[in-house]
Chain A
């Protein structure tokens, strides 16, 4: 029990300004030095038997001298990384409406299942007879993905969305080569609104990128596609729902047009979360689509990966799927790792079999939600995005009012005109309100874009508070309270960071300071 004798228990009179602290710390906000400033060369936090090497078999190539690493004891390590973690914003911290990224709740059951020894502690090259359960899991995940997308083939091995794009476009290129059209079909159509990975992927494997203009309503029109079609066109890369948060109304016609012209339809599936259980991309005429398991199926984003990017394929592309693939014979599952007679697999996109750890998490998520829960999740995600749009559209400008939003609501910066506040300023002010900002300045077809994706994981109270907070900020911007925007964030672990300086003189690793004595010479 606390002894209150002589001890003030009231909050006291708040001072107008907080005094500087000796350490620079602010209570729970603790400044943390770099590992290399606190670590020591002779310290290790792991107890390892110290063996003396007698005669070694290193072929005369033993390392000479120091590596340049430092170590910390276990308690110091724990504290270093816990303090670093406290400078980060995650989904578990609060609403994380980063458009196009689907920052939904990450169930911890997924983590627990992925760590079962039978999944986490098996080697990709141990005898296949000893990993039949692991291969069965891959096959089950494949089945779920095919049912949800209305396709009959999927390649699991791509390691993230952009890698899936690459694999899908490689399958298209292989199919074109098989038809003897490699020399002529060299153009890939990419809408202006596309994610930057699309043109980068196409260019990486030698395609020439042609841009399809966006219409005034934020969609791609079949006539604009047709105008660019010809015997030189290999494929179109279309995001659907698109990056403006709109389901492409003419997607079926666009698919038919590209097929009629002898090309293929690559669909960027980054926004699949809007339509799971509502529409099947296979029914819409896609030939290949990657699925970001870390977005739609909630394997965690992990501070920037690992992701996973399986690609579903149409019957036309299925024969070209890369190694490995699963075959079933005599009640046994086989992961086929090398091309057999007559196989048309276009090669291999990664060592081993793909992101097994992510497969387990994604299947755990799908089993938990079930067909009903996944449909409901998509509906809730779309409803929440439209709810935010409805709550803000009188204050913030909606560039494409003619279409309902799918799972993300897009605003532009027309409403900030003459306020002196930019999209970036507005985003940084959201940080002070305790939110992670939305995606900014993307898609490029909209000036000062703000792309808000709340996902299905927010309660109505959370959405309401978010809307009220943004309304408050919007009104302050319009009232000319530019200070709070131009200098935001005020309350984050760091104030606005100088990105120009970082790029002009890149410092990409810690380097020891000159010893004082030497510097004085």
Chain B
């Protein structure tokens, strides 16, 4: 390199002195175990180092080619939601001591991380109505896969039954994992109207049923009869949610009898990020604690008797148990969990309830306005902040046409279920970010597109 790259503190003099101390004549002597014919002599065929200004230009150009959610009336949901995140959240998660630390292997100098994880676990348990929660999973979908494996371990059965209202990506993640582990999966047909009889699919081999609430089409489901039906046959109810804000207004899955609850926490504290990183929330009944995947933070005391926190029950984990571990998860979603817990702290009991009410009220307004539009039908009998429309035309074409007119109108069901014959369905989300003007624009543009 002609100049020293800004992230590298060593100078060529330093390097020479260090090589002398090590006792080798050049740095390649340290790479002597690499077969000589495999050692690269010249830099690989990629551009040379660039200054900050230049890099910023390149990436800003790429970013500029994307339509951001805040720049248009925006109604896209189906598993990830645009919410307002207070400025405080993003500032705090960028504190060096949070951002540049790692898994708290040395608890004496990681009490910051450990305490917020303890608080996070408490918040997640409260929100889901469950007894215990872990310190996060990668996201809701991978958490759902792990929940199924956990149910198999508990029941010693190997068949999962998936609701037709479960997010198709989640179902696909579970099916992939199950196929690879040689476990059985039964997936109910897409259930737009929340009318399926899932209980009828439970047999004596069934370890669990996986039900999403609100479901991917936006319907709110009563989990109580499902919990009873599952438990009558020795199976577990795994309740999934993709919109954490909904828990501020609708009955918690724990109160409705769920055995394991897994969900996507992105809605609280985290940006859309084109799909990741997000944060998986995972909670269960206390009696299943030792079969839970992932990290757990627990309270203890130090040598002076002061309260402190440590990672605990690690005998479930891969670094101790190796092939007998409950999961292979290692690094999880620490910083996204921090964003979640800070936002949740700012909201509090009062704030999350208000936020959820506002979301629902906005969605009701949009649904009521859409009743006036010709060729549009709202299919949901119930919903939180998202519902499914039946259109007179292919929803994918409608969404593209709406995008050209500057409105991001939702997710065509066919994008998630390409072969289900549901091409005329559109999933529409409406959160606190949507204004009256946004809704008016949505109704107008949809009307224009359908009328064209």
- Flag if B95 contacts A82 (CB, 8 Å): yes
For window 324-372 of A, CB contacts with B under 8 Å fall at 337-338, 346-358, 360, 363-364, 366-372
Assembled-state Cα–Cα distance A80/B92 (Å): 10
A475 interface contact, C-beta 8 A: no
| Contact residue among A82, A369, A459 (Cβ-Cβ distance under 8 Å from B9) | A459
- Contacts A277-B40, A303-B104 given; does A127 touch B109 at CB 8 Å: no
- Contacts A36-B119, A133-B63 given; does A350 touch B173 at CB 8 Å: yes
Assembled-state Cα–Cα distance A207/B249 (Å): 44
Could you give, for residues 105-122 of chain B, a 1 whenever the CB lies within 8 Å of some chain A CB and a 0 otherwise?
111111111011011011
Assembled-state Cα–Cα distance A205/B328 (Å): 11
| Contact residue among B22, B50, B247, B252 (Cβ-Cβ distance under 8 Å from A386) | B22
Most buried by B among A74, A92, A278, A487: A278
Contacts of A246 in B (CB 8 A): 33
| Contact residue among B23, B94, B116, B182 (Cβ-Cβ distance under 8 Å from A111) | B94
Assembled-state Cα–Cα distance A87/B112 (Å): 5
- Flag if B76 contacts A77 (CB, 8 Å): no
- Flag if A98 contacts B105 (CB, 8 Å): yes
Assembled-state Cα–Cα distance A420/B231 (Å): 55
- Flag if A498 contacts B301 (CB, 8 Å): yes
For window 80-96 of A, CB contacts with B under 8 Å fall at 80-82, 84-93, 96
- Flag if A88 contacts B112 (CB, 8 Å): yes
- Flag if B351 contacts A125 (CB, 8 Å): no
- Contacts A162-B330, A382-B27, A497-B108 given; does A89 touch B101 at CB 8 Å: yes
A17 interface contact, C-beta 8 A: no
Tell me the minimal C-beta distance from A84 to chain B in angstroms.
Answer: 4
A153 interface contact, C-beta 8 A: no
Assembled-state Cα–Cα distance A392/B132 (Å): 46
Assembled-state Cα–Cα distance A88/B99 (Å): 10
Assembled-state Cα–Cα distance A111/B56 (Å): 11
For window 57-116 of A, CB contacts with B under 8 Å fall at 57-64, 66-72, 74, 77-78, 80-82, 84-93, 96, 98, 101, 103, 105-107, 109, 111-113, 115-116
- Contacts A71-B345, A126-B76, A363-B59 given; does A351 touch B170 at CB 8 Å: yes
- Flag if A357 contacts B276 (CB, 8 Å): yes
Assembled-state Cα–Cα distance A340/B4 (Å): 48
B58 interface contact, C-beta 8 A: yes
B62 interface contact, C-beta 8 A: yes
- Contacts A121-B70, A493-B109 given; does A369 touch B5 at CB 8 Å: yes
A425 interface contact, C-beta 8 A: no
Contacts of A195 in B (CB 8 A): 319
Size of A's binding interface in residues, CB under 8 A: 209
- Contacts A349-B142, A372-B49, A436-B106 given; does A294 touch B331 at CB 8 Å: yes
Which of A1-9, A163-171, A221-229, A259-267 forms contacts with chain B?
A163-171
B415 interface contact, C-beta 8 A: yes
- Flag if A109 contacts B52 (CB, 8 Å): yes
| Contact residue among A126, A347, A507 (Cβ-Cβ distance under 8 Å from B176) | A347
Assembled-state Cα–Cα distance A377/B9 (Å): 10
| Contact residue among A101, A346, A356, A437 (Cβ-Cβ distance under 8 Å from B106) | A437
- Contacts A68-B349, A368-B55, A372-B49 given; does A130 touch B271 at CB 8 Å: no
Contacts of B141 in A (CB 8 A): 350-352
Assembled-state Cα–Cα distance A162/B110 (Å): 23
- Flag if A122 contacts B66 (CB, 8 Å): yes
For window 36-69 of A, CB contacts with B under 8 Å fall at 36, 39-46, 48-53, 56-64, 66-69
Tell me the minimal C-beta distance from B243 to chain A in angstroms.
Answer: 13
Could you give, for residues 269-309 of chain B, a 1 whenever the CB lies within 8 Å of some chain A CB and a 0 otherwise?
00111111101000000000100000111111111101011
Assembled-state Cα–Cα distance A77/B346 (Å): 7
Contacts of B109 in A (CB 8 A): 87-89, 431, 436, 489, 492-493
Contacts of B324 in A (CB 8 A): 203
B172 interface contact, C-beta 8 A: yes
- Flag if B360 contacts A58 (CB, 8 Å): yes
B195 interface contact, C-beta 8 A: no
For window 123-156 of B, CB contacts with A under 8 Å fall at 123, 125-127, 132-133, 135-136, 138-142, 149
Q: Which residue of A lies closest to B124 (CB)?
A: A509
B199 interface contact, C-beta 8 A: no
A234 interface contact, C-beta 8 A: no
Q: Which residue of A lies closest to B102 (CB)?
A: A301
A to B contact number (C-beta, < 8 Å): 729
A191 interface contact, C-beta 8 A: no
Assembled-state Cα–Cα distance A32/B289 (Å): 28
| Contact residue among B18, B19, B58, B301 (Cβ-Cβ distance under 8 Å from A497) | B301
Assembled-state Cα–Cα distance A129/B402 (Å): 12
Contacts of A498 in B (CB 8 A): 300-303
Assembled-state Cα–Cα distance A56/B15 (Å): 70
Tell me the minimal C-beta distance from A233 to chain B in angstroms.
Answer: 16
| Contact residue among B70, B328, B408 (Cβ-Cβ distance under 8 Å from A204) | B328
- Flag if B111 contacts A502 (CB, 8 Å): no
| Contact residue among B56, B69, B331 (Cβ-Cβ distance under 8 Å from A122) | B69
- Flag if B63 contacts A163 (CB, 8 Å): no
Assembled-state Cα–Cα distance A191/B177 (Å): 25
Q: Which residue of B lies closest to A167 (CB)?
A: B176
A316 interface contact, C-beta 8 A: no
- Flag if B30 contacts A162 (CB, 8 Å): no
B392 interface contact, C-beta 8 A: no
Could you give, for residues 373-392 of chain A, a 1 whenever the CB lies within 8 Å of some chain B CB and a 0 otherwise?
11111011011101101110
Contacts of A185 in B (CB 8 A): none
Contacts of B272 in A (CB 8 A): 120-124
B203 interface contact, C-beta 8 A: no
- Flag if A351 contacts B139 (CB, 8 Å): yes
- Contacts A106-B100, A160-B138 given; does A197 touch B33 at CB 8 Å: no
Q: Which residue of A lies closest to B242 (CB)?
A: A351
Assembled-state Cα–Cα distance A510/B299 (Å): 9
Assembled-state Cα–Cα distance A247/B116 (Å): 39
- Flag if A371 contacts B47 (CB, 8 Å): yes
- Flag if A497 contacts B328 (CB, 8 Å): no
For window 412-430 of B, CB contacts with A under 8 Å fall at 415-416, 418-419
- Flag if A357 contacts B40 (CB, 8 Å): no
B238 interface contact, C-beta 8 A: no
Assembled-state Cα–Cα distance A150/B136 (Å): 34
A517 interface contact, C-beta 8 A: no
Contacts of A437 in B (CB 8 A): 106
Contacts of A301 in B (CB 8 A): 100-103, 331, 334
| Contact residue among A67, A125, A136, A492 (Cβ-Cβ distance under 8 Å from B415) | A125
Assembled-state Cα–Cα distance A147/B40 (Å): 12
Assembled-state Cα–Cα distance A495/B304 (Å): 7
B448 interface contact, C-beta 8 A: no
Q: Which residue of A lies closest to B344 (CB)?
A: A69
Tell me the minimal C-beta distance from A489 to chain B in angstroms.
Answer: 5
| Contact residue among B22, B31, B334 (Cβ-Cβ distance under 8 Å from A306) | B334
Could you give, for residues 61-93 of chain B, a 1 whenever the CB lies within 8 Å of some chain A CB and a 0 otherwise?
111111111110010101110100010101010
Q: Which residue of B lies closest to A55 (CB)?
A: B364
A300 interface contact, C-beta 8 A: yes
| Contact residue among A58, A163, A203, A370 (Cβ-Cβ distance under 8 Å from B47) | A370
Contacts of B55 in A (CB 8 A): 109, 113, 364, 367-368
- Flag if B176 contacts A322 (CB, 8 Å): yes
- Flag if A124 contacts B80 (CB, 8 Å): yes
- Flag if A305 contacts B335 (CB, 8 Å): yes
- Flag if A349 contacts B1 (CB, 8 Å): no
Assembled-state Cα–Cα distance A111/B271 (Å): 13
- Flag if B432 contacts A247 (CB, 8 Å): no
9 A–B contacts from the bound complex (CB under 8 Å): A39-B348, A48-B354, A87-B112, A125-B78, A305-B136, A357-B271, A368-B5, A387-B18, A404-B30
Given known contacts A42-B349, A195-B319, what 16 new A-B pairs fall within 8 Å (CB)? A51-B358, A63-B248, A69-B352, A89-B110, A124-B276, A196-B319, A205-B180, A209-B322, A209-B323, A349-B142, A356-B275, A363-B59, A368-B7, A497-B310, A499-B312, A508-B132
7 smallest A-B Cβ distances: which pairs? A71-B348, A118-B63, A347-B176, A133-B65, A352-B275, A59-B382, A302-B335
